[in-house]
Amino acid sequence: MSPEIIFQIHLVLGYVAWLLCFVVYILPRLKSMGRVDAQRAIATLHSFRFFGLVFMLPGVVGPSLPASFAQFAAYGDFVTGVLAMLALLTARVPPLFWFFVLSFNVVGAADIIVDYYHAIRIGLPAVAGQLGATYAIPIIYVPLLMITHFAAFYLLMRRQPKVAWAFAGDTAAS
Protein backbone atom coordinates (compact mmCIF):
# COMPACT_ATOMS: atom_id res chain seq x y z
CA MET A 1 0.00 0.00 0.00
CA SER A 2 1.36 3.45 -0.90
CA PRO A 3 2.19 6.05 1.77
CA GLU A 4 -0.49 8.28 0.21
CA ILE A 5 -3.23 5.66 0.72
CA ILE A 6 -2.05 4.86 4.24
CA PHE A 7 -2.04 8.55 5.18
CA GLN A 8 -5.53 9.08 3.75
CA ILE A 9 -6.87 6.00 5.58
CA HIS A 10 -5.31 7.25 8.82
CA LEU A 11 -6.80 10.70 8.33
CA VAL A 12 -10.32 9.46 7.58
CA LEU A 13 -10.27 6.96 10.45
CA GLY A 14 -8.98 9.70 12.77
CA TYR A 15 -12.12 11.69 12.00
CA VAL A 16 -14.38 8.65 12.34
CA ALA A 17 -12.91 7.63 15.71
CA TRP A 18 -13.08 11.17 17.12
CA LEU A 19 -16.61 11.72 15.82
CA LEU A 20 -17.77 8.52 17.50
CA CYS A 21 -16.09 9.51 20.77
CA PHE A 22 -17.20 13.13 20.53
CA VAL A 23 -20.87 12.42 19.84
CA VAL A 24 -21.17 9.86 22.62
CA TYR A 25 -19.03 11.36 25.38
CA ILE A 26 -18.02 14.97 24.78
CA LEU A 27 -20.91 16.72 23.01
CA PRO A 28 -23.56 15.72 25.57
CA ARG A 29 -21.33 17.10 28.33
CA LEU A 30 -20.69 20.35 26.45
CA LYS A 31 -24.42 20.80 25.78
CA SER A 32 -25.18 20.34 29.47
CA MET A 33 -22.74 23.07 30.48
CA GLY A 34 -23.33 26.79 30.50
CA ARG A 35 -22.23 28.65 27.38
CA VAL A 36 -19.12 30.12 28.94
CA ASP A 37 -17.99 26.85 30.53
CA ALA A 38 -18.46 24.91 27.29
CA GLN A 39 -16.45 27.46 25.32
CA ARG A 40 -13.77 27.53 28.01
CA ALA A 41 -13.44 23.74 27.76
CA ILE A 42 -12.97 23.99 23.99
CA ALA A 43 -10.54 26.91 24.38
CA THR A 44 -8.50 24.88 26.86
CA LEU A 45 -7.97 22.14 24.27
CA HIS A 46 -7.02 24.70 21.61
CA SER A 47 -4.66 26.55 23.93
CA PHE A 48 -2.19 23.70 23.32
CA ARG A 49 -1.97 24.51 19.61
CA PHE A 50 1.35 26.24 20.21
CA PHE A 51 2.60 22.67 19.81
CA GLY A 52 2.23 23.13 16.04
CA LEU A 53 5.50 25.08 16.04
CA VAL A 54 7.16 21.65 16.09
CA PHE A 55 6.63 21.49 12.30
CA MET A 56 9.60 23.87 11.98
CA LEU A 57 12.03 21.94 14.19
CA PRO A 58 14.82 20.34 12.17
CA GLY A 59 15.23 16.69 13.07
CA VAL A 60 11.60 16.35 14.15
CA VAL A 61 10.30 16.62 10.60
CA GLY A 62 12.09 15.35 7.52
CA PRO A 63 14.28 17.68 5.44
CA SER A 64 11.95 17.29 2.46
CA LEU A 65 8.84 18.55 4.25
CA PRO A 66 7.96 21.64 2.21
CA ALA A 67 8.83 24.74 4.24
CA SER A 68 5.81 26.60 2.88
CA PHE A 69 3.50 24.00 4.42
CA ALA A 70 5.44 23.68 7.67
CA GLN A 71 5.67 27.40 8.37
CA PHE A 72 2.06 28.21 7.52
CA ALA A 73 0.75 25.30 9.60
CA ALA A 74 3.05 26.14 12.51
CA TYR A 75 2.20 29.83 12.67
CA GLY A 76 -1.52 29.22 12.13
CA ASP A 77 -1.54 26.85 15.08
CA PHE A 78 0.52 29.24 17.18
CA VAL A 79 -1.83 32.19 16.55
CA THR A 80 -4.88 30.01 17.26
CA GLY A 81 -3.33 28.78 20.53
CA VAL A 82 -2.55 32.32 21.68
CA LEU A 83 -6.10 33.46 20.85
CA ALA A 84 -7.50 30.50 22.80
CA MET A 85 -5.32 31.43 25.77
CA LEU A 86 -6.54 35.02 25.55
CA ALA A 87 -10.12 33.72 25.62
CA LEU A 88 -9.32 31.79 28.79
CA LEU A 89 -7.64 34.81 30.38
CA THR A 90 -10.60 37.09 29.62
CA ALA A 91 -13.41 34.79 30.77
CA ARG A 92 -14.47 37.37 33.38
CA VAL A 93 -14.73 40.13 30.77
CA PRO A 94 -17.60 38.92 28.55
CA PRO A 95 -17.10 41.19 25.52
CA LEU A 96 -13.41 40.28 25.28
CA PHE A 97 -14.07 36.61 26.03
CA TRP A 98 -16.64 36.25 23.24
CA PHE A 99 -14.39 38.19 20.84
CA PHE A 100 -11.50 35.82 21.51
CA VAL A 101 -13.74 32.72 21.40
CA LEU A 102 -15.00 33.72 17.98
CA SER A 103 -11.49 34.74 16.87
CA PHE A 104 -9.70 31.53 17.81
CA ASN A 105 -12.45 29.42 16.25
CA VAL A 106 -12.50 31.36 12.96
CA VAL A 107 -8.70 31.54 12.73
CA GLY A 108 -8.26 27.91 13.84
CA ALA A 109 -10.84 26.44 11.47
CA ALA A 110 -9.50 28.53 8.58
CA ASP A 111 -5.96 27.40 9.42
CA ILE A 112 -6.94 23.73 9.26
CA ILE A 113 -8.85 24.16 6.00
CA VAL A 114 -5.98 26.08 4.38
CA ASP A 115 -3.48 23.50 5.69
CA TYR A 116 -5.53 20.75 4.02
CA TYR A 117 -5.54 22.75 0.80
CA HIS A 118 -1.75 23.28 0.94
CA ALA A 119 -1.17 19.62 1.81
CA ILE A 120 -3.16 18.46 -1.20
CA ARG A 121 -1.60 21.06 -3.50
CA ILE A 122 1.97 20.03 -2.61
CA GLY A 123 1.20 16.29 -2.55
CA LEU A 124 1.91 15.87 1.15
CA PRO A 125 0.04 12.53 1.49
CA ALA A 126 2.56 10.94 -0.90
CA VAL A 127 5.49 12.08 1.26
CA ALA A 128 3.74 11.80 4.64
CA GLY A 129 6.85 10.18 6.10
CA GLN A 130 8.49 13.61 5.96
CA LEU A 131 6.19 14.61 8.81
CA GLY A 132 8.45 12.46 10.98
CA ALA A 133 7.50 12.60 14.65
CA THR A 134 4.72 15.06 13.83
CA TYR A 135 2.80 12.46 11.78
CA ALA A 136 0.39 11.95 14.69
CA ILE A 137 -0.66 15.61 14.66
CA PRO A 138 -2.74 15.52 11.45
CA ILE A 139 -3.94 11.98 12.13
CA ILE A 140 -4.95 12.16 15.81
CA TYR A 141 -4.96 15.78 16.96
CA VAL A 142 -6.26 17.75 13.96
CA PRO A 143 -9.52 15.80 13.57
CA LEU A 144 -10.40 16.56 17.20
CA LEU A 145 -9.51 20.21 16.72
CA MET A 146 -11.70 20.55 13.64
CA ILE A 147 -14.60 18.73 15.29
CA THR A 148 -14.38 21.02 18.32
CA HIS A 149 -14.35 24.11 16.08
CA PHE A 150 -17.62 22.93 14.55
CA ALA A 151 -18.97 22.21 18.04
CA ALA A 152 -17.96 25.70 19.20
CA PHE A 153 -19.79 27.29 16.26
CA TYR A 154 -22.82 25.08 16.94
CA LEU A 155 -22.84 26.10 20.61
CA LEU A 156 -22.42 29.76 19.70
CA MET A 157 -25.43 29.66 17.38
CA ARG A 158 -27.60 27.50 19.65
CA ARG A 159 -30.56 29.24 21.25
CA GLN A 160 -30.36 29.83 24.97
CA PRO A 161 -33.01 28.25 27.18
CA LYS A 162 -35.82 30.64 28.14
CA VAL A 163 -34.78 30.34 31.79
CA ALA A 164 -31.38 31.84 30.94
CA TRP A 165 -33.04 34.69 29.06
CA ALA A 166 -35.39 35.35 31.97
CA PHE A 167 -32.48 35.60 34.39
CA ALA A 168 -30.57 37.83 31.98
CA GLY A 169 -33.62 40.07 31.65
CA ASP A 170 -34.00 40.26 35.42
CA THR A 171 -30.35 41.27 35.78
CA ALA A 172 -30.66 43.95 33.11
CA ALA A 173 -33.81 45.35 34.79
CA SER A 174 -32.11 45.65 38.19
Give backbone dihedrals phi and psi of 34, rounded to 5 degrees, phi first.
-65, 160
Residue 87 has pLDDT above 50, yes or no: yes
Which pLDDT score, from 0 to 100, does residue 174 have? 44
Q: How would residue 159 be classed by pLDDT, with cut points 50, 70 and 90?
A: confident
Cα 27 from Cα 148, distance rounded (Å): 9
Whether the per-residue pLDDT at 172 is higher than 50: the answer is: no
Number of residues in the chain: 174
The pLDDT value given to residue 161: 62
Residue 53, classified by CB atoms within 10 Å of its CB into exposed (0-12), middle (13-18) or buried (19+), is middle
Q: What is the mean pLDDT of the chain?
A: 92
Using CA atoms of 157, 98, 91, 106 in order, give the dihedral in degrees to the nearest 10.
90
- The model carries a pTM of 0.89
Domain range annotation of the chain:
3-53+65-158
